[in-house]
Structure 1
Amino acid sequence: MNIKRRLTLRFVLQLAITGMVVLAIAAVTFTWMLLRFLDISITRDFANVGLEQLVESSKIDEKGIQFSPSLLEQVKKNKGWLQNIDENGKVESAYNTPKDVPIQYGPGEVVAYWTGTQPFPYTLAVWIQEKNGRQFTLLYGAPNILDPLLKKMSDGTFDAVDGDLVLPDSIEREIKSSQAFVQLIDSSGTELLSYNRPKMIPTKYSVPELALRTLYSERYGYHVRSSFDKQTGQTWIVGQPNVKGADTGQKVWVPEEVKIVIKGSLAMLAALLLAFILLSLWQAHRFGAPMLHMLVWLDSIGNAIYTEPLDRKGNRRSRTHVGKWRRRYRVFSDVMVSIEKLSANLQRDQALRQQTENLREEWIAGVTHDLKTPLSSITGYAHLLAEPSYDWSKEEVRKFTRTMLDKSAHMDMLISDLAMTYRLKTGIKPPELMEVELNSWLHQTLDQAAANPEYGKQRIIFVPAPNEVRARLYTPWLERVVNNLTANALLHNPSDTILTVSLTMNDLDSGFTIQFSDDGDGMDEVTLNRLFERYYRGTDTVSSSNGSGLGMAISKGLIECMEGRIAVESSPGQGTIIKLSWS
């Protein structure tokens, strides 16, 4: 799998994980909000919501029905009680039931208490539901303070002092203990009298205002009951806080449900922010650290430091001690391998450049020596000829002159070879190709080379091809190559070395090969590998006055310019074979 697919898969996986985390946080938040809404509903309207939850959360075992302890605790907070009766009206189980509550009910008794047709000191709620094949009938009672208080106020006659009711001590204690209030309003809704009225309760009501406060008590924080006297047109109003002990001195501007939504939303945003920060840190650890490591490595390469940066312990950051990729670097393995190859190549090139520079300096020193040697001879003989105190004979003058010409020719050859190497480097082309018959041309060229007195006699053997071999070549260049190879074979080997030059046709007449084979000392592997380097000489520059150290480099360049190939085979003590091939 390439890096593109690995990165795509990794980013898709991370987006999926991020989406799952967001969904999980949202689910937890909404679940918490729903549970809080349910708690509020149970607190405000336990008769309808709480009883259903009691049945749904109940368990049936050998001891009978078992209710949720938290819901039973809510019953106790409401100062309510709970009974479970069977089909005959007998109480099977009860919780927090006062002594004045019956333990056996007749068929019409429950309905009478429930509908209010029969006086009962408690507000009664009935819940009937079937579960696990069994029918449950739950009775929930809560203290009925408002209805008796409203009846006392509407049936009684009370005095007033400065707009405040004067009530009997028993009614005052009842009102204060239950945090209730009492109001008397006229037919226009304006308050006439009141007792213990909180500041949030209005002193004037419109028709919709009183209706809304009676129907939707959870919006206003109070349960309200009212009794209208048709003869006087006055209305008694009694009220009690929804939650006993709550702070009802001020109007509830923000409903409890809105507070829960705000809290849940803020908590969800904080959780999402924390999750994204953690995911970002994880992302930076998984992807940022490897990328930073690669950038540091590339910067080190720019500063000629080619080894991979190490950690504080001196270990490679990208690999384990056994050489395997570390997990977070695995996705970038292709890039890391490319950087490793780049580092190795640059390091090798740097070493090669340094080696080449050293060879260049050595070669320049050698060439300088080779140029100075004949120049010293020329200068010395020139001084001798110019010296007026000597009267040189004609034979001596000719001798001095021949020596000066030889040294000048050697210097010219050195300079020509140096110029040729740079011309070959720029990619020169042969001036004009000409068609020649190689058997006769090679025979003639080798005969001319063999005439050199430095080579000795009968040391060159030519083996022609059985048939004519015609080719289009630039013969001055080929002649120079032949002379270079002949000189190398005969001058840098023992005096009894034999050079065999053979011309053969390649298979299917697709080309030809000129082979130079000698039985001399051969070359070691180092010399063989560096034979064609511009600044390498297999022998010392002062070993011969006839060489420039550039012969093989020039020969290779000339052969390649004529679209040929040159190959060398050699080993110490086994001689050398050089093949010039054209296809």
Structure 2
Amino acid sequence: MKIKHRLTLRFIFQLVISGIIVLLIAAACTWWILQRLTDMSITRDFASAGLERLVESSKLDKDGIRFDPHLLEQVKLNKGWLQTLDEHGRVDLSYNTPKDVPLHYAPGELIDYWNKTKPFPYDIYLWIQEKNGKLFTIIYGIKNEMGQLLEEINQYHALSPAGQLELPSALRERLKKLDGYVQVLDASGVEIASYNRPDSIPAQYSVQELVLRSTYGSRFGFKIASVYHDESKYTWVIGLPIGHSSAAGEQPLVPEEIRIILIGIAFLIGAMIVIFLLISVWNAHRFGSPMLHMLAWIESIGQGKYTEPLDRTGQPRSRHRSGKWRRRYAVFADVMQSLHKLSAILKRDQDLQRQTNKLRDEWIAGITHDLKTPLSSIKGFAHMLAAENYEWSTAEIRKFSVTMLDKSNHMDTLINDLELSYRVNARIQPPDMEEIELNAWMEDILLRGAVHPSWDAGRIIFKPAKTEIYVKLYPPWMKRAVHNISANALLHNPPDTILTVTILHDTDAGEVKIVLEDNGTGMDDVTANRLFERYYRGTDTSSSTEGSGLGMAIAKGLVEAMGGWIAVETSLGSGTTITLIFPTSSSRLIQWT
């Protein structure tokens, strides 16, 4: 899989996981908000909000119906009580029930209590539901403080001549204990007297405001009731705090419902920020570290250091000791492999350049020596001929001239070798090829080469093929290649070395081979591997004045330029075999007669 696809899948996977986590957190926050709002509603008015939930969460077992302990705690906090009745009006289960509440209800009695046609100190709420085949009646009751207070105020209310509200001391104590208050309003809604009124309660009401406070007491923190007297035109208002808190009437800057929603949203946003920060840190660790490592590696490559940067333990940062990729580097495996290859290539090129520079220096030193040697002879003889104090004979002058001409020819050969070497290295194409009969042509070339001042006659043996072989070659190049190989074999081996040249036709392989085999000392592996390098000489330059150290490189380049190739087999003490191979597709064969 390509790095583009791996990174795409990684980031898609991260986004999906992040989205799922955010959705889960959003769901949790929504659930928390709903729970808090429900709890708040239950706390404010258990009869309308909590009773239904209490029934829905109830469970029926062999011992009867069981309720949620959390909701039962809300019943207790609201100073309420619960009873469950069977179909006959008998109480099955009681919770926080006062002693003055009956344990059995006649059908009409329960209805009278509910409709408040019969005196009962509690407000009751009924819920009837069938559960597991049984019909249950749940009674929720809460002390009717407001009704009792109104009844007492109706009996004992009075205003002093000074307009002060006169209430019995017991009623005063009870109002104070309940954090309640009493107001007396005139016909226009203006307060003329009050007792224990909080500062948050207005001293004047419009008709609409009194209706709103009576209907939606939870908005204002107080549940109020009022009694209007026709004779005095006064309205008596009594208020009790919802939740029985002395600060209930104070309007908060932010309503509780909004505060709960804002807390949930703030938590959701905070959780999302934390998640994305963690993802960013994780991505920086997972993707940033490998990128910084690769940048450091590229920088070190620019400085000529081609090995991967190491950690404190001396191990490559991208791999374990076992050689496997570290997890955060695996996604960049393609890039890391490319950097490894680049480093290896650059290091190899650096080594090759260093080696080439060394070989070039050696070759320049050698070719300079080879050029200076004949030049010194020419210069020396020229000085001798130019000397005015000595008269040379004609024979001596001719001898000097022959030597100078021989040295000049040697210098010319060196220069031509150098030129041809660079032309071959530039992969020039040969001129028009000629079709030659290889047996006769090779025999003629070797006979001429056998008569050479540098080696004795008879050191070259020729073995032709059994058939006439016509091959398209460029004769001057072929001659030069054969001469260079022959000279290398005869000049750099002992004087009794024999060179055997054999022409073979390999019909199975479809090849024509020219095998040049000597019985000399052979070469070691280093010399054999570098035999065809331009800047390498197997012997030092003082061993022979023949050659320039370019002969074998030229021979290989010329053979390959004519469509053939060259192979070497050698070992120390076993001689050397050099084979020139040409495909038969460029030759035609005639049976030898």
Shared topology, TM-score over 0.5?
yes
Does the aligned pair in 2 maintain the 1:531–1:553 contact within 8 Å? yes
User: Hey, what does 2:561 align to over in structure 1?
Assistant: 561
The 1:415–1:83 alpha-carbon spacing in structure 2 relative to 1, beyond 3 Å, is same
User: Hey, what does 1:546 align to over in structure 2?
Assistant: 546
User: Hey, what does 2:445 align to over in structure 1?
Assistant: 445
The 1:219–1:468 alpha-carbon spacing in structure 2 relative to 1, beyond 3 Å, is farther
User: Hey, what does 1:348 align to over in structure 2?
Assistant: 348
Q: CA deviation at 1:431?
A: 4.2
**SS of structure 2 residue aligned to 1:261:** helix
Rounded to whole Å, the distance in 2 between the matches of 1:38 and 1:568 is 96
The 1:476–1:210 alpha-carbon spacing in structure 2 relative to 1, beyond 3 Å, is farther
User: Hey, what does 2:285 align to over in structure 1?
Assistant: 285
Are 2:91 and 1:72 aligned?
no
User: Which residue type is aligned with residue 378 of structure 2?
Assistant: I
Are 2:365 and 1:358 aligned?
no
Q: CA deviation at 1:40?
A: 0.7
User: Which residue type is aligned with residue 564 of structure 1?
Assistant: G
Rounded to whole Å, the distance in 2 between the matches of 1:323 and 1:134 is 73
User: Hey, what does 1:414 align to over in structure 2?
Assistant: 414
User: Which residue type is aligned with residue 373 of structure 2?
Assistant: T
User: Hey, what does 1:310 align to over in structure 2?
Assistant: 310
- 1:299-448 correspondence to structure 2 within 5 Å: 299-448=299-448
Q: CA deviation at 1:229?
A: 4.7
Does the aligned pair in 2 maintain the 1:217–1:223 contact within 8 Å? yes
Does the aligned pair in 2 maintain the 1:220–1:252 contact within 8 Å? no
Task: Indicate the RMSD between aligned Cα atoms, in angstroms.
Answer: 2.8
Q: CA deviation at 1:350?
A: 1.9
Give the stretch that moved more between structures: 435-444 or 28-37. 435-444
The 1:410–1:154 alpha-carbon spacing in structure 2 relative to 1, beyond 3 Å, is farther
Does the aligned pair in 2 maintain the 1:6–1:331 contact within 8 Å? yes
User: Which residue type is aligned with residue 293 of structure 2?
Assistant: H
Does the aligned pair in 2 maintain the 1:520–1:573 contact within 8 Å? yes
User: Hey, what does 2:137 align to over in structure 1?
Assistant: 137
Rounded to whole Å, the distance in 1 between the matches of 2:252 and 2:115 is 32
Does the aligned pair in 2 maintain the 1:477–1:558 contact within 8 Å? yes
Percent of residue pairs bearing the same amino acid type: 55
Q: CA deviation at 1:435?
A: 4.0
Rounded to whole Å, the distance in 2 between the matches of 1:261 and 1:555 is 92
Deviations 1:29-76 (CA, angstroms, capped at 9, x unpaired) = 122112111211210121133233333444555655443333232222
Rounded to whole Å, the distance in 2 between the matches of 1:463 and 1:164 is 151
Are 2:459 and 1:459 aligned?
yes
Does the aligned pair in 2 maintain the 1:164–1:195 contact within 8 Å? no
The 1:134–1:49 alpha-carbon spacing in structure 2 relative to 1, beyond 3 Å, is farther
Rounded to whole Å, the distance in 1 between the matches of 2:334 and 2:232 is 96
Give the stretch that moved more between structures: 543-552 or 519-528. 519-528
User: Which residue type is aligned with residue 427 of structure 2?
Assistant: G
Q: CA deviation at 1:241?
A: 2.0
**SS of structure 2 residue aligned to 1:108:** helix
Q: CA deviation at 1:386?
A: 2.1
The 1:102–1:504 alpha-carbon spacing in structure 2 relative to 1, beyond 3 Å, is same
**SS of structure 2 residue aligned to 1:521:** coil
User: Hey, what does 1:481 align to over in structure 2?
Assistant: 481
User: Hey, what does 1:575 align to over in structure 2?
Assistant: 575
Q: CA deviation at 1:275?
A: 1.4
User: Which residue type is aligned with residue 171 of structure 1?
Assistant: L
Q: CA deviation at 1:97?
A: 2.1
Rounded to whole Å, the distance in 1 between the matches of 2:236 and 2:538 is 127
Rounded to whole Å, the distance in 2 between the matches of 1:237 and 1:47 is 23
User: Hey, what does 2:586 align to over in structure 1?
Assistant: none
The 1:162–1:266 alpha-carbon spacing in structure 2 relative to 1, beyond 3 Å, is farther
Give the stretch that moved more between structures: 490-499 or 196-205. 196-205
**SS of structure 2 residue aligned to 1:517:** strand
Rounded to whole Å, the distance in 1 between the matches of 2:557 and 2:161 is 129
Rounded to whole Å, the distance in 1 between the matches of 2:528 and 2:208 is 112
Deviations 1:490-514 (CA, angstroms, capped at 9, x unpaired) = 2112223232333445548966443
User: Which residue type is aligned with residue 549 of structure 1?
Assistant: G
Q: CA deviation at 1:189?
A: 4.6
Q: CA deviation at 1:327?
A: 2.3
Does the aligned pair in 2 maintain the 1:84–1:136 contact within 8 Å? yes
Does the aligned pair in 2 maintain the 1:221–1:252 contact within 8 Å? no
Q: CA deviation at 1:133?
A: 4.1
Does the aligned pair in 2 maintain the 1:198–1:248 contact within 8 Å? no
Q: Which runs of 5+ in 2 are unaligned?
A: 584-593
User: Hey, what does 1:117 align to over in structure 2?
Assistant: 117
The 1:543–1:212 alpha-carbon spacing in structure 2 relative to 1, beyond 3 Å, is farther
User: Hey, what does 1:18 align to over in structure 2?
Assistant: 18
Deviations 1:436-459 (CA, angstroms, capped at 9, x unpaired) = 443333333222222212231122
**TM-score, normalising length from structure 1?**
0.91
Does the aligned pair in 2 maintain the 1:434–1:474 contact within 8 Å? yes
Rounded to whole Å, the distance in 1 between the matches of 2:216 and 2:487 is 120
**SS of structure 2 residue aligned to 1:416:** helix
Rounded to whole Å, the distance in 2 between the matches of 1:91 and 1:112 is 18
Are 2:199 and 1:222 aligned?
no
User: Hey, what does 2:518 align to over in structure 1?
Assistant: 518
Does the aligned pair in 1 maintain the 2:530–2:536 contact within 8 Å? yes
Q: CA deviation at 1:270?
A: 0.8
The 1:154–1:469 alpha-carbon spacing in structure 2 relative to 1, beyond 3 Å, is farther
User: Which residue type is aligned with residue 118 of structure 1?
Assistant: K
Rounded to whole Å, the distance in 2 between the matches of 1:421 and 1:168 is 133
Deviations 1:280-327 (CA, angstroms, capped at 9, x unpaired) = 222222222222222222222222222222212222322222222222
User: Hey, what does 2:499 align to over in structure 1?
Assistant: 499
Does the aligned pair in 1 maintain the 2:222–2:249 contact within 8 Å? no
Deviations 1:342-379 (CA, angstroms, capped at 9, x unpaired) = 22232222222222222222222222222222222222
The 1:400–1:140 alpha-carbon spacing in structure 2 relative to 1, beyond 3 Å, is same
**SS of structure 1 residue aligned to 2:339:** helix
Rounded to whole Å, the distance in 1 between the matches of 2:552 and 2:129 is 109
User: Which residue type is aligned with residue 313 of structure 1?
Assistant: T
User: Which residue type is aligned with residue 444 of structure 2?
Assistant: Q
User: Hey, what does 1:490 align to over in structure 2?
Assistant: 490
Rounded to whole Å, the distance in 1 between the matches of 2:490 and 2:115 is 135
User: Hey, what does 2:48 align to over in structure 1?
Assistant: 48
